[in-house]
Chain A
């Protein structure tokens, strides 16, 4: 069955992107900012439609190469939500020239569309096309500040790494084809060396997008150089979508336990957390610190995948959801500070607590949440993920997770330290935050506190989405 209707949200986004590119040509140059508004309204309306379709059985089913299930739509909601917020915060990002607004928004929407396909793909070729759509749009987005050498450097590294990992992925798919005779994801294939090799290569291809070690090297440079709203987007949406694809792959189709991949996944999880956290110690640029932190966060998520139980999957979904709130909050404050001071150096945070107490407390809450300290939402997510490791008897994963959380508190507190313990530079008044960015920070902080104090609705929602279609 073709069932193209199931891909309606993807078509809506892609159509929106093409529409934006088209009217870009017709609009007078003074009105380019309206394209941003148009773009976030597009993204928001798709989000609303997706929420409205949640209970509708007609929106569920499987097509030839894709599937629309409650698991996928939960992750799609996360991606659409992130896209909307990132587009909103772009409105307060002055470093981007307005005349490229159409291109920028179109690339953002295309990237989001690619992620929506990725999470619904049940065929490796479709997954590959989706990955490429995401990658190519984000290479351009990462290098969008053309006059900025760091932006160019980051985009170039990102591109070279992306090309390399695409090659790995497609190489893995070719082994997979050899082992199963097709590219469709099918269950119950007997493990063979060829299949395992294919799966591992595919895993590495995904690892690139999800910034899992050892495929994480592009992350700090690309994140540092990219325009901050793009960095925010890159640190959340592709990562979560890839985790969705990973869970579909190693959770149901090729359960890691029956293909002897749990050890590998666990090892990668520990490696990712440790590299992310311990490298972040030595960074002095807030965007780089948050980049390494997002690598480490991928490690925590990978624990849930490595455990592979129902509780682990639920944990990954819960953590993904709260990760959106805390990461958007942290990056939005970083963007506000960076815009105001012209640099993302740690020094620009000096004395922020005395300049704007509210923003600083909001940032502190997001950082505490990233470090997994109660009563923030991040704690509930980590509690869930670590408890899945304890339940399945993988003590070493839980121990590695908590030790890493303690280590991470150190560098998250370096930012808090600057905000509260250092005196502000002379003659700096309160931090000026644009209205859209302010809204983004407010939404994030409310989310971080709300889901920390009352996680029940989130857990119930996730429990309703985890039963996966075959």
Chain B
């Protein structure tokens, strides 16, 4: 059975069914949405026992001819790099859907676009043909535009079009890079695995040019300094579940592309760019943390913390070592889980208080103890407290990078202090001190919100104490990436 196709296309089937339902049947629409995302999740979980951890090659491969005249194929497969991300996507989609139950306005359209978005995200991580990859990459754009623009905050319309045009302008240059590789290969092909085999005969100048085109598109998505400016706006304006998806999955597409395409198909360009990548990673870490420190809006703070955390991923990659790569991949997963949880938590308080200003709160720990506990745990996981998942991956990233980039790593480690500072300051302002009388009647977290948060918290603790399970998934691939 073509399991990967089932995972990718189940949400599309759901989206089409949703489109045919009358818009008044909200419950049915939500049910179909959960069913479709649930099928994807179960199918991806069912692959775990079958996934061979000792293999570095692509597994569950599906390859059919799609456009034979241009040698484009429908080519799906996963390895230790993409499989964890597929799991992350199917899982976080269901979590975000639980969060979406709170959406009461134009539900039908919402579920349609949401499921369409899931198709695109899953496809990006599975596609092994560059045109297919690009198609899925762009498919994520349009639903995101509508999801931000219709259900977002006060400046949603501007945020939506800025997100759209920003990412589109990056991806068209990626397309040119893809075309350049196509015409350089013989016979012309978009097959990533074939291009990885052929790249050794390409001259460095060509590889650098192609790398720059690809990197421009990928770095906007990551987002790497200086192309991160769309992110805070989009994050802040998007509705909670969409912020979750944006942080948890969409940003990972950029880092994934960096490892899958640029590192493997244009390695000389990648090596040439490495010193700059380290600088960018360091800026992302330090500058992201400092920006987060300066925010008074909780959601914006979390958004900048994403810039900061994606910096760790970049630093790990720049280390070009086994711990670095494992750390970067694990950091993608962990950041997905933790940032997703943070956005959900911010959403919880925003739904009740209708403000996200840090200074508007105070002393809430007495009123909402469960919420305070979950928030503190998640913040600690994010700032890298040992015992929780964030620590493992950040440590691995630093470990991997230190050998080669001592100075950059040292500065980045200092960035952790800023990270800790803004999280602790937020916790202090919200939960500690005298209770702000305005919030006397604040309700604690409700079961629906708890249902979406508890699985995430459980994973944070699980990966924190027993990181070998996720690491084992990726070890063989990481060794293969490094040519060992």
- On whether the beta carbons of A368 and B142 are closer than 8 Å, the reply is yes
Complex interface: stretch among B132-140, B332-340, B447-455: B132-140
Q: Which residue of A390, A395, A402 is within 8 Å of B172 (Cβ)?
A: A402
Q: Which residue of B67, B145, B149 is within 8 Å of A459 (Cβ)?
A: B67
**Minimum C-beta distance from B123 to chain A (A):** 10
- On whether the beta carbons of A402 and B176 are closer than 8 Å, the reply is yes
A3 within 8 A of B: no
342-392 of chain A: CB within 8 A of chain B: 353-354, 357, 361, 364, 368, 373-375, 379, 383-384, 386-387, 390-391
Interface size bucket, B side?
35 or more
- On whether the beta carbons of A390 and B183 are closer than 8 Å, the reply is yes
Q: Which residue of A353, A395, A405 is within 8 Å of B109 (Cβ)?
A: A353
- On whether the beta carbons of B175 and A357 are closer than 8 Å, the reply is no
**Minimum C-beta distance from A322 to chain B (A):** 14
B445 within 8 A of A: no
Bound CA–CA A406/B66 (angstroms) = 26
A interface secondary structure, majority:
helix
Q: Which residue of A390, A399, A406, A463 is within 8 Å of B69 (Cβ)?
A: A463
- Residues of B with C-beta under 8 A to A454: 66
- Residues of A with C-beta under 8 A to B172: 402-403, 405-406
A398 within 8 A of B: yes
B172 closest partner in A (C-beta)? A402
B interface secondary structure, majority:
helix
Bound CA–CA A417/B158 (angstroms) = 10
Q: Which residue of B69, B134, B173 is within 8 Å of A374 (Cβ)?
A: B134
Residues 436-467 of chain A, each 1 if its beta carbon lies under 8 Å from chain B, else 0: 00000000000000000011100110010000
- Residues of B with C-beta under 8 A to A368: 142
Complex interface: stretch among B30-38, B163-171, B259-267, B370-378: B163-171
- On whether the beta carbons of B135 and A421 are closer than 8 Å, the reply is no
- Residues of A with C-beta under 8 A to B160: 421
Bound CA–CA A158/B180 (angstroms) = 42
A409 within 8 A of B: yes
- On whether the beta carbons of A413 and B161 are closer than 8 Å, the reply is yes
**Minimum C-beta distance from A76 to chain B (A):** 23
Bound CA–CA A361/B68 (angstroms) = 30
- On whether the beta carbons of B139 and A387 are closer than 8 Å, the reply is no
B157 within 8 A of A: yes
Bound CA–CA A379/B150 (angstroms) = 25
- Residues of B with C-beta under 8 A to A386: 175-176, 179
Bound CA–CA A204/B319 (angstroms) = 58
Residues 18-58 of chain A, each 1 if its beta carbon lies under 8 Å from chain B, else 0: 00000000000000000000000000000000000000000
- On whether the beta carbons of B106 and A354 are closer than 8 Å, the reply is yes
- Residues of A with C-beta under 8 A to B146: 420
A410 within 8 A of B: yes
A360 closest partner in B (C-beta)? B109
- On whether the beta carbons of A402 and B175 are closer than 8 Å, the reply is yes
30 pairs across A/B with beta carbons < 8 Å? A357-B23, A361-B19, A373-B138, A373-B141, A374-B134, A374-B135, A374-B138, A383-B179, A386-B175, A386-B176, A387-B183, A390-B176, A390-B180, A390-B183, A395-B176, A402-B173, A402-B176, A406-B168, A406-B169, A406-B172, A409-B164, A409-B165, A410-B165, A417-B149, A420-B150, A421-B149, A421-B157, A454-B66, A456-B66, A456-B69
Known: A387-B182, A456-B67. 5 other contacts (CB 8 A): A354-B106, A374-B135, A374-B139, A398-B179, A402-B175
Task: List residues of A whose CB falls within 8 A of some B CB.
Answer: 353-354, 357, 361, 364, 368, 373-375, 379, 383-384, 386-387, 390-391, 395, 398-399, 402-403, 405-406, 409-410, 413, 417, 420-421, 454-456, 459-460, 463
For the complex of A and B, 3 pairs with smallest distance between CB atoms: A402-B172, A374-B135, A390-B179
